Amino acid sequence: MSQTKEIQLPDIGDFHDVEVIEILVSPGDRVEPEQSLITLESDKATMEIPSPEGGVVQEVRVAIGDKINRGDVIVTLEAEEEVSAAAPAPAPEAAVESERPAVAAEPETPPAAVPAAARIPVPVPDIGDFKDVEVVEVLVGDGDHVEKEGSLITLETDKATMEIPSPASGTVHGMKVKVGDRVNQGDPICELQTDTAESTSEPVVAPVAEEQPAKAPEPEPVAAASQERLPGEKPARKRPVIAKPSDAPKGRAHASPGVRRFARELGVDLYHVPGTGPKGRITKEDVQNFVKRTLAEGAPQVAATGPLQLPRPPEVDFSQFGEIEEVELGRIKKLSGKHLHNAWLGIPHVTQFDEADITELEAFRKDLKAQAEKEGVKLTFMPFLMKALAAAMKEYPQFNASLSPDTEKLILKKYLHIGVAVDTPNGLMVPVVRDVDRKGIFELARDLMDVSSRAREGKLAPGDLQGGCISISSLGGIGGTQFTPIVNSPEVAILGVSRAEMQPKWNGSDFEPRLIMPFSLSYDHRVIDGAEGVRFTTFLAQLLGEIRRLLL
């Protein structure tokens, strides 16, 4: 004989309308006593709700995002008579309470009021019957400012994760705990210099019961079968159903409520985020790194969605021809390689070649060299080229644009930021210099020195690589005569500069030596046609040949 039972949400303290964030079983699953059914999350605690007995799940009555309360039905369970008969009698109240997902109780005596504008100790509040609870995250450091109710540390038990809030707003001093420590009620966390702005407010009372689930007044059958388990033994958990095999999670999401909240704001599925914290715990930095990595790798797969379907290259065993060595590509080359591959396949490139007479410009640069040294900058040819390029883009605004995602509109930009390719030990990077049209030569030289040094040291921020309107790739310091640079999507053009050299040029009566710089312009033929490309390069060559035109 078997019977169907409704498994209800047990007493979880003073919480109401608690959100369901994970469903760990599905209809047809066999569950054991104490196996977790769902995960709930409040502002400060995450808790798993275990099954009070074994059986087969017939129906799941809740969905992710539902808000439930004590007594709400979670699942219906077909419990076998033999299983339920074999279940031991409820354990004594103290033993049962220690296994409950509830993590805190009402304090027997109210905590002391916190005087405003004072340096106060912050202890671990009442967290129920739990002892030696592990610190899994320290969320603040000495000198950090926290708001009232802002989280200080995260604690974790077998069934719950809880963040300990600050009793007042102020500045943290003397952190007394670290990750891995085990703490109990009353243990010091830190000292807090409360804000003077609170001096006219009522005394602050450290909140504990409002943020932590309370002890159940009566033992629930939730832990009735737990006495049968060996110490440390946990039943296997089912993962949520996934859409397709490629979505398979790497493991259970193991994160604090604050990290879960942060991930939800960014739309991140924590099941796919590898954790680097203690015991594989997911930290806020892990979520941020996952987002950066996803954005970098998530460029439009033109080859997979467009008309051009390229076959994969054949796998060749090169070792049959001689000795080989496999060397891992650097991270920058991996990321930029995918982007360049998509840009090359998705953008119809045209490259226009031209050259500029920079004899007078080079003489002018050398005349300014002494003044530049006084300004503390190294004056190269690049700031002059950037100013000329900015002027040409103002004359031909279609070069300072991007196509809309549906390729039906042209987005004209009213700002002028230029990316400059920098050769670094880790690969080519293109930091962006902003508002080139509004800056002088010396200011541009200073900005170039700054972004170039930070690029080589690996200290560029994500914002330093975004927002460019056009890019410059200069190989003049190395050599070469001409090359075809790849457009840095979503930009529509890129300028390639090669080494300048002295050449004889006819002036109408004689040949004279002139410093000639070859350059090339690659552009998106969907936006710019050939005639516009030639007009642009001709105008740019004129600006570089007659630097005084930049003053007009």
- Distance between CA atoms of residues 271 and 252, nearest Å: 6
What is the mean pLDDT of the segment spanning 397-415? 94
What is the mean pLDDT of the segment spanning 35-45? 80
Residue with tokens 């001096």: 199
2-6, 413-417, 438-442, 495-499 — which is least confidently predicted?
A: 2-6
| Residues composing the chain | 552
Asked if the model's pLDDT at residue 534 lies above 60, the reply is yes
Q: Is the peptide bond before 207 cis (omega within 30 degrees of 0)?
A: no
CATH number reported for the structural domain that contains residue 508 in this entry: 3.30.559.10
- pLDDT, position 164: 87
Looking at the structure, do residues 354 and 231 belong to the same domain, yes or no? no
Looking at the structure, do residues 43 and 137 belong to the same domain, yes or no? no
For the chain, the domain total comes to 3
DSSP 142-205: TT-EE-TT-EEEEEE-SSEEEEEEPSS-EEEE-----TT-EE-TT-EEEEEEE-GGGTTSPPEE
Range of the domain at 163: 113-205
Looking at the structure, do residues 352 and 470 belong to the same domain, yes or no? yes
Cβ-Cβ contacts under 8 Å for 72 (sequence gap 6 or more): 8, 9, 61, 62
Looking at the structure, do residues 424 and 535 belong to the same domain, yes or no? yes
pLDDT: which is higher, 217 or 411: 411
Looking at the structure, do residues 391 and 412 belong to the same domain, yes or no? yes
CB 211 within 8 A of CB 44: yes
Whether 266 is covered by a domain: the verdict is: no
- pLDDT, position 256: 73
Whether 286 is covered by a domain: the verdict is: no
End-to-end CA distance of the chain: 96
Give the pLDDT band of residue 159 (cuts 50, 70, 90): low
> Which of these, 204, 140, 130, lies nearest to 162 by C-alpha position?
130
Q: What is the mean pLDDT of the chain?
A: 79
Whether 6 is covered by a domain: the verdict is: yes
- pLDDT, position 1: 55
Question: Looking at 181, 205, 229, which one is the last position of a domain?
Answer: 205
**CB atoms closer than 10 angstroms to residue 453:** 11
Looking at the structure, do residues 198 and 220 belong to the same domain, yes or no? no
Looking at the structure, do residues 55 and 200 belong to the same domain, yes or no? no
Asked if the model's pLDDT at residue 434 lies above 70, the reply is yes
Whether 257 is covered by a domain: the verdict is: no
- Distance between CA atoms of residues 162 and 178, nearest Å: 16
Asked if the model's pLDDT at residue 228 lies above 60, the reply is no
Looking at the structure, do residues 40 and 144 belong to the same domain, yes or no? no
Looking at the structure, do residues 126 and 67 belong to the same domain, yes or no? no
Strands 511-524 and 501-506: antiparallel
DSSP letter assigned to residue 121: E
DSSP letter assigned to residue 415: S
Question: Looking at 151, 182, 205, which one is the last position of a domain?
Answer: 205
Contacts of the segment 289-292: beta carbons below 8 A, 24+ positions apart: 291/266, 292/462
CATH number reported for the structural domain that contains residue 13 in this entry: 2.40.50.100
Asked if the model's pLDDT at residue 281 lies above 50, the reply is yes
Asked if the model's pLDDT at residue 73 lies above 80, the reply is yes
- pLDDT, position 70: 87
H/E element, 85: helix 81-86
Whether 297 is covered by a domain: the verdict is: no
- pLDDT, position 535: 97
- pLDDT, position 541: 96
Asked if the model's pLDDT at residue 519 lies above 80, the reply is yes
- Distance between CA atoms of residues 74 and 9, nearest Å: 6
Whether 448 is covered by a domain: the verdict is: yes
Rounded alpha-carbon distances, angstroms, from residue 313 to 249, 316, 334 = 30, 9, 17
pLDDT single digits (tens) 342-363: 899 889 999 999 999 999 999 9
Asked if the model's pLDDT at residue 393 lies above 50, the reply is yes
Asked if the model's pLDDT at residue 409 lies above 80, the reply is yes
CB 515 within 8 A of CB 359: yes
Instruction: List residues with catalytic annotation.
Output: 525
Two structure tokens written together for 357: 């007479």
pLDDT: which is higher, 1 or 516: 516
Question: Looking at 205, 225, 253, which one is the last position of a domain?
Answer: 205
472-481, 494-503, 530-539 — which is least confidently predicted?
A: 472-481
Strands 204-205 and 349-357: unpaired
Looking at the structure, do residues 391 and 500 belong to the same domain, yes or no? yes
Looking at the structure, do residues 372 and 226 belong to the same domain, yes or no? no
Whether 384 is covered by a domain: the verdict is: yes
Asked if the model's pLDDT at residue 162 lies above 70, the reply is yes
Residue with tokens 């590509």: 329
pLDDT single digits (tens) 134-148: 888 888 888 888 888
Alpha helices in 219-277 (DSSP H): 257-266
What is the mean pLDDT of the segment spanning 16-25? 85
pLDDT: which is higher, 249 or 333: 333
Asked if the model's pLDDT at residue 201 lies above 70, the reply is no
Whether 195 is covered by a domain: the verdict is: yes
Amino acid at 488: N
Looking at the structure, do residues 156 and 236 belong to the same domain, yes or no? no
